[in-house]
Amino acid sequence: MSFDVNVTGRGGQIAARFAVPGGVTVLFAPSGAGKTSMLDMIAGLVTPDRGHIRVGGRTLFDADAGINLAPEQRRAGYVFQDARLFPHKRVQDNLRYGGSDTRQVTEIANLLDIAHLLDRWPRSLSGGEAKRVAIGRALLSKPDFLLLDEPLASLDAARRGDAMNAVATIRHATRLPILLVTHDRGEAERLGDRIIGLLG
């Protein structure tokens, strides 16, 4: 499954143009360059000024054709920079939020090495643990593709390793196409199969 993106937004301030196969594609640019806004456009949370977005040959947005699918119709698994876990739900209930059954939750928890966290509250998790739970919740929504916003941001060295391992695990285990944004060149080179820069 491939990404085919050619969009401009924020009055021409940000733009990206790339057509890439599956694997992990890293969108690399300095902080404040509009990387999160680009992910929001692909997820359907922000409408581009013009252009098109296709994933796996399926059109999510096409300004000329008047196509703009709602976020819930795009089948994107979006992991935000802050994990955004529900503080009033234990880890297992955060994972079940997408409607998954116990077997599916167990499989993903084992895949991401978070099975021992299932009874914990989000406030008791480290940054790396919370990130892995957020990735698990995104996977359990049965997405066609994943969007990861700065997955290693604000983590110490040990927790960055945990999050990096989680990205590598899902890349090999699920074969979902992943679009990941970062401002860290070393991180981009370690995690990505290819690196794309923002235009504009």
Question: What rounded mean pLDDT belongs to the chain?
Answer: 90
pLDDT per residue over 111-144, tens digit each? Answer: 998 999 999 999 999 888 898 899 999 999 999 9
Write down the pTM of the prediction.
Answer: 0.90
Q: In what order do the strands lie in the sheet with 3-9?
A: 14-20, 3-9, 50-55, 58-62, 67-68
Give me the pLDDT at residue 155, please.
Answer: 72
Give me the pLDDT at residue 159, please.
Answer: 74
The two structure tokens encoding residue 84 = 């955004």
- The rounded distance, in Å, linking the Cα atoms of 175 and 68 is 26
- The rounded distance, in Å, linking the Cα atoms of 38 and 45 is 10
pLDDT per residue over 7-47, tens digit each? Answer: 999 888 889 999 998 889 999 888 888 899 999 999 999 99
Domain count, the chain: 1
Residue ranges making up the domain that contains 47: 3-197
Give me the pLDDT at residue 164, please.
Answer: 78
List the CATH number of the domain containing 185.
3.40.50.300
Give me the pLDDT at residue 13, please.
Answer: 86
Per-residue pLDDT, averaged over 153-172, amounts to 78
Give me the pLDDT at residue 168, please.
Answer: 82
Report whether pLDDT(3) > 60: yes
Per-residue pLDDT, averaged over 176-199, amounts to 87
Report whether pLDDT(84) > 60: yes
